A and B are shown apart, each in its own frame.
Chain A
């Protein structure tokens, strides 16, 4: 198997090879991206929801190596079995079950980590990262970024040929998820394992102690949840049928240029 290069499927009407325009269908998402996306859509939701149940068992967060009820917590929520910090509709399982939540969390952790590493490697080999995600020099100009921010704020999205590429805010958020938040959430998760702390004590030094790692784990998870929320809003605003369809079939209809 070789990395599937994006073949361009342009619905040509009159003149042959020309730049795709608004309304044309282009091949946008590789098979590896689509498979990983949908696997992760499931996995990340299970991780977040079982993670919230685990948090319910001790809804306090600390900095440093130790932290328990008598110690200073930077975040302390009220939680009881009757009124948990995160309500039942947000958690897996729905009613208090720390052991069950841990089983879900550690089963799906494998589905997060192993396919995630394979996807990262594959996307490097098929140049998805270098070609589609790495920002180009001109995109990093403050003026360009600012214009993109303004366009997003006005809900003006790229059309036609420009919509074939990810814009700089998209690139930044995808790279942030792939190379910052996902590695962070996995490494801080591993740091909470007393077994792995014995094997890799540098994990404790990296994050400033087990309770700091637990706090960072929670913050990274919250940022991933925030990303998903914005991601879903953008999908709805950009045209959910075209966007979701392209993540299933790979084919994307370029938005029409505004007259």
Chain B
């Protein structure tokens, strides 16, 4: 009897010790390469599972104007620091051009006026920030698909990269999505918000809307759209500023 209790006590205290070790070691585990690879497998699993159940063309919910947030807060950079951007802003983006290049057969250089005369889609959607808040707003813009088709996207292209005018500590913001999202009907480069021209705080002159993912994927102040075969050459290789900088998930559908 005594033996059994001792053994149980031993097991229980081993369990408690392991628990304590685990909790105090979580930060160490977070930085360990084994955990990083486990979490990256889990991310692949999550993205795979989501892509399995979410139809390519499944639309994010679109709301009525009565459902819109009274105030749509800004986030991230609300005013790019670059002198070139400020000059464009000062002249109403008259001489500004959106560049579409990379793995395309006919690179484009489009004025804002030209973009605004392209077929547009308007959608009232919910913007979900990774921090947890949501806001509903109305976005008007050109479907990204039209620009990619218009520029003759080449078959080697796998990802679409967005280069932005704003920066964090001197590093210009960048983001990327794959072709599933790039060709999704609700993926637009928005030039209008809530029936107005897109305000500077929300990314004038153009911001990406990629409605089935979190806010940090919705690049603001988009200057250049580049088609690439791989994300390896972009930044530190994880596909976006926050992905490279802080370890945020590249697939932000969750």
Q: Which residues of A contact B (CB under 8 A)?
A: 42, 45, 49, 54-55, 57-58, 60, 65-71, 92-95, 97-100, 102-104, 106-107, 110, 192-201, 204, 210-211, 214, 240-241, 244-245, 248-249
Once bound together, how far apart are the Cα atoms of A249 and B253, in whole Å? 42
Q: Name the A residues within 8 Å of B69 (CB-CB).
A: 66, 68, 70-71
Q: Name the A residues within 8 Å of B73 (CB-CB).
A: 68-70
Number of A-B contacts (CB under 8 A): 156
Q: Name the B residues within 8 Å of A106 (CB-CB).
A: 39, 42-43, 46, 249, 254
Q: Name the B residues within 8 Å of A57 (CB-CB).
A: 130-132
B219-254 vs A, CB cutoff 8 Å, 1 = contact: the mask equals: 000000000000000000000001000111100111
Query: Per a CB cutoff under 8 Å, which of B27, B59, B214, B242 touches A94?
Result: B27
Centre residue among B132, B135, B253, B254 by max chain A CB count within 10 A: B132
Once bound together, how far apart are the Cα atoms of A43 and B14, in whole Å? 18
Q: B128 contacts the other chain (Cβ, under 8 Å)? A: yes
Q: Name the B residues within 8 Å of A92 (CB-CB).
A: 23, 26, 30
Query: Per a CB cutoff under 8 Å, which of A67, A93, A95, A240 touches B12?
Result: A240
The residue in chain A whose Cβ has the minimal distance to the Cβ of B245 is A99
CB-based contact A194/B128 at 8 Å: yes
CB-based contact B131/A93 at 8 Å: no
The residue in chain B whose Cβ has the minimal distance to the Cβ of A95 is B27
CB-based contact A110/B42 at 8 Å: yes
Centre residue among A49, A198, A200, A201 by max chain B CB count within 10 A: A198
Query: Per a CB cutoff under 8 Å, which of B26, B27, B126 touches A66?
Result: B126
Interface size on B, residues (CB 8 A): 54
16 contacts between A and B (CB under 8 A): A65-B63, A68-B72, A93-B30, A103-B42, A103-B247, A103-B249, A104-B26, A106-B42, A107-B38, A194-B60, A194-B128, A194-B252, A198-B54, A198-B60, A211-B134, A248-B12
CB-based contact A198/B61 at 8 Å: yes
Q: Name the A residues within 8 Å of B212 (CB-CB).
A: 194-195, 197-198
Q: B3 contacts the other chain (Cβ, under 8 Å)? A: no
Q: Name the A residues within 8 Å of B55 (CB-CB).
A: 199
Q: Name the A residues within 8 Å of B246 (CB-CB).
A: 97-99
Once bound together, how far apart are the Cα atoms of A146 and B83, in whole Å? 74
Known: A71-B71, A198-B58. 12 other contacts (CB 8 A): A58-B131, A66-B69, A92-B26, A99-B248, A100-B30, A100-B247, A106-B46, A198-B60, A198-B211, A199-B53, A211-B133, A214-B132
